[in-house]
Amino acid sequence: MATARNPAALIRPLVTPEGVDLRVKLADAGTRASGFLLDVVIIITAAVVVSLVAIFGLGGLGGQDAEPLFIVWIIFIFLLRNVYFIAFEAGRRAATPGKRMVGVRVASRSGAGLTLDQVIARNLMREIEIFLPLSILAARGSAGVADTLSTIFGLVWALLFSLFPLFNRDRLRIGDLLAGTWVVEAPKVALVEDLSLRKDPVAARFQFSAAQLDAYGIAELHKLEEVLRRDDYFAMKAVAETIARKIGAKVEPVDSKAFLTAYYGELRAHLERKLLLGNRKADKYAR
């Protein structure tokens, strides 16, 4: 419940081998469950379609002629259950169709590329976490006591593993712990807007002198653009206070975004004018 009230609790640093911190947001337990259920629906639908085709095929054949088709059907159902997740998560998008529908994907916690070994490990553990207890429930003993005990055992097993992500801060399955992976949000990315064209009535109040704009260069302009695109209130507040202190301006916390938008637009125009004159300021240390 604390996570639902504080979305920032799911933000994690993801440092790539090049030293770049991508700052990812973990998928919550509800989103992960929704994606998994969608995948289960797809698998069951495919299994039903193939089973119907196999039944019609077997009906028109004799007993011995139907055996090869029956064997093919058994192999296909086995592969469908065990290869579906591995094949999609090992692909370029690192996500099954269900995960893509809810906007999440699998990522390596080390920041390196997701390996096939990690994908296989996290998905084979699903057999132990989910499908094995379900098999126990489906193959209950006929005796009353044995039937009751196997049912309780299967339910406890399934609940223990399925509820595990709710009791760790990174929302990890057992398979994620063993494979070194986690599931992160991956919303569809639209083309970004030109920040210099933003029309903000509050930003229009801020005006900067040439001396104030000379305080920063191209490198800082790019970093400022990253902060504005991330749209993180606390990051924008910290950056606005730093810039205001350096250039001798005054900005209220509630105006941080408007202040940065105004400064970004004027700094970009200022640097472009100087670039046309052959005067390139790479960063704030350049003279």
- The segments of the chain whose pLDDT lies below 70 read 1-8, 15-22, 57-67, 135-147, 150, 188-204, 276-287
pLDDT of residue 1: 42
pLDDT of residue 248: 87
Residue 259: how many CA atoms within 13 Å on its side-chain side? 20
C-alpha distance from residue 26 to each of 30, 99, 141, 170, 251 (Å)? 12, 13, 41, 7, 33
Phi, psi angle pair for 265, to nearest 5°: -60, -45
pLDDT of residue 113: 79
Instruction: Please check whether residues 35 and 132 belong to one and the same domain.
Output: yes
Q: Is residue 284 part of a domain?
A: no
pLDDT of residue 126: 83
The domain boundary residue, chosen from 185, 203, 233: 185
pTM attached to this predicted model: 0.58
Q: Which two tokens stand for residue 177?
A: 């712990």
Secondary structure of residue 220 in the 3-state scheme: helix
Q: Which two tokens stand for residue 28?
A: 């919550």
Other Cβ atoms within 10 Å of 88 Cβ, number: 20
pLDDT of residue 192: 44
Instruction: Please check whether residues 269 and 236 belong to one and the same domain.
Output: yes
Using one digit for the tens of pLDDT, what is the confidence trace for 130-186?
A: 777 776 666 665 444 456 776 777 778 777 887 888 788 888 888 899 999 989 988
Q: How far is 180 from 114, CA to CA, in rounded Å?
A: 9
How wide is the angle at C-alpha 65 spanned by C-alphas 62 and 67, nearest 5°?
A: 110
pLDDT of residue 165: 80
Q: Is residue 220 part of a domain?
A: yes
- Domain of residue 244, residue span: 195-276
Work out how many domains the chain is built from and give that number: 2
pLDDT of residue 143: 45
Instruction: Please check whether residues 56 and 155 belong to one and the same domain.
Output: yes
Q: Is residue 130 part of a domain?
A: yes
- Specify the residue for token string 């947001």: 25
Instruction: Please check whether residues 137 and 223 belong to one and the same domain.
Output: no
Q: Which two tokens stand for residue 171?
A: 């929302």
Instruction: Please check whether residues 172 and 39 belong to one and the same domain.
Output: yes
